[in-house]
Amino acid sequence: MNALWLENNVIALREVPPPRKQQEAVIKIRKAGICSTDLELVKGYYPYTGILGHEFVGEVISSPLPPAEERGVRVGDRVVGEINAVCNECEQCLNGRPTHCESRTVLGIVNRDGVFAEFTALPIANLHRVPASVPDEMAVFTEPLAAALEIQQQVQVKPADRVLLVGAGRLGQLIAQTLALTGCDLHVVARHKRQQDLLKGRGIRLISEEEIQPWRWDIVIEATGSPDGFMLARRAIRPRGTLVLKSTYKGEMNVNFSSIVVDEVVVVGSRCGPFEPALRLMESGRVDPTVLIDSEFSLGEALEAFKRAAEPGALKVLVSP
């Protein structure tokens, strides 16, 4: 099959064998999305060799289980998939923390080929059926929308809370849409005009960096992935406030931890989230991620797709085999 292969920080199209895993479902990819993690992997954020990509919607073409045991997912179903494949036997899995499985593989990120290909493979337990009313263009956003919702799994966001979101890129836009549903006093730092226009179109308030009062915000979410974004978020959070880090940072970063201790700031790292609530939000129309689609390329044009996704201000770029 054709696939986009990463090796030594170079991406190239190549022919590779299709996935053949006896204990996993094989999925034909319908659409896949490029995210910031994919771009950072190409830059060397994490040592990975293999097929890139982890955001997808596809169709199950084979299953390792008999139909009676397929857990609600059958051959022919449209599906999305959780990216962490876990052992269910280690300390983390047995204590309810499977996304931190000690021997996990991660779709297109850690020791598992991803979805910028014609086919991929995942355990049946990772798959979720896509409601008929949710089109492919929407379903492909399930993984990042679930990641946005994880914030509310970890932190109680109340209507009276003053919430600051720093960063309005691919993930930041979804975080803003989901936080707006809580009724909180939300303001978003967005640098690019298209980002600003999308937020204003949903009635979400913008704030410039110069307008941010330090030591005033109950909850601050950092979603830029840059040291400058982190420092802005750190200055904004009030004593005993909650700082949510939704970014991974390449290399080391200088942080004044003494001030975090003195201010008794709660720091929350936030990663993967719940798929079923994400699908329900899209099915109900309460969240519309399709407004983020920037452009779409064929798999044969994947190199051009990555160039487009890396341009400043670019939002979601899709790849369709």
Report the candidate in 198, 203, 206 with the shortest Cα–Cα distance to residue 181: 203
Model pLDDT, residue 69? 61
Model pLDDT, residue 21? 83
Query: Does 67 score more than 80 pLDDT?
Result: no
φ, ψ of residue 141 in degrees (nearest 5): -90, 5
Query: Does 257 score more than 70 pLDDT?
Result: yes
Dihedral (C-alpha) 228, 181, 143, 88: value to the nearest 10 degrees? 100
Q: In the predicted model, what is the mean pLDDT of residues 108-116?
A: 97
Query: Does 211 score more than 60 pLDDT?
Result: yes
Query: Does 249 score more than 90 pLDDT?
Result: no
Low-confidence winner among 22-31, 43-52, 68-77, 117-126 (lowest mean pLDDT): 68-77
Give the model's confidence band at 75: pLDDT under 50 very low, under 70 low, under 90 confident, else very high.
Answer: very high
Characterize the bridge pairing of strands 162-166 and 217-222. parallel
Model pLDDT, residue 308? 98
Strand stretches in 194-278, DSSP E: 205-206, 217-222, 237-245, 266-269
CATH fold of 2-130+288-320: Quinone Oxidoreductase; Chain A, domain 1 (3.90.180)
Decide: 80 and 144 in contact? Cβ < 8 Å.
no
Model pLDDT, residue 250? 73
Q: Report the phi/psi class of residue 72: left, alpha or beta, with left for phi > 0 and alpha for psi in -120 to 50.
A: left
- DSSP state, 318? E
Query: Does 68 score more than 60 pLDDT?
Result: no
Report the candidate in 209, 171, 175 with the shortest Cα–Cα distance to residue 190: 209
Q: What is the pLDDT of residues 276-290, one digit of tens each?
A: 999 999 999 999 999
Give the model's confidence band at 65: pLDDT under 50 very low, under 70 low, under 90 confident, else very high.
Answer: confident
For residue 320, the SS3 value is strand
Whole-angstrom Cα distance, residue 272 to residue 45? Answer: 18
Domain boundaries, the chain: 2-130+288-320, 146-269
CATH fold of 146-269: Rossmann fold (3.40.50)
Model pLDDT, residue 20? 86
- Determine how many CB atoms are found less than 10 A away from the CB of residue 51: 23
Long-range pairs for 73-79 at CB < 8 Å and ≥24 separation?
Answer: 73/25, 73/124, 73/127, 73/128, 73/129, 77/129, 77/130, 78/30, 78/129, 78/130, 78/136, 78/139, 79/27, 79/127, 79/128, 79/129, 79/130
Q: What is the pLDDT of residues 126-169, one digit of tens each?
A: 999 999 999 999 999 999 999 999 999 999 999 999 999 999 99
CA separation, residue 2 to residues 33, 117, 153, 259 (Å): 17, 6, 38, 51
Whole-angstrom Cα distance, residue 62 to residue 280? Answer: 26
Average pLDDT, the chain: 95
* Selected residue with higher pLDDT from 251 and 197: 197
Q: What's the full length of the chain, in residues? A: 321
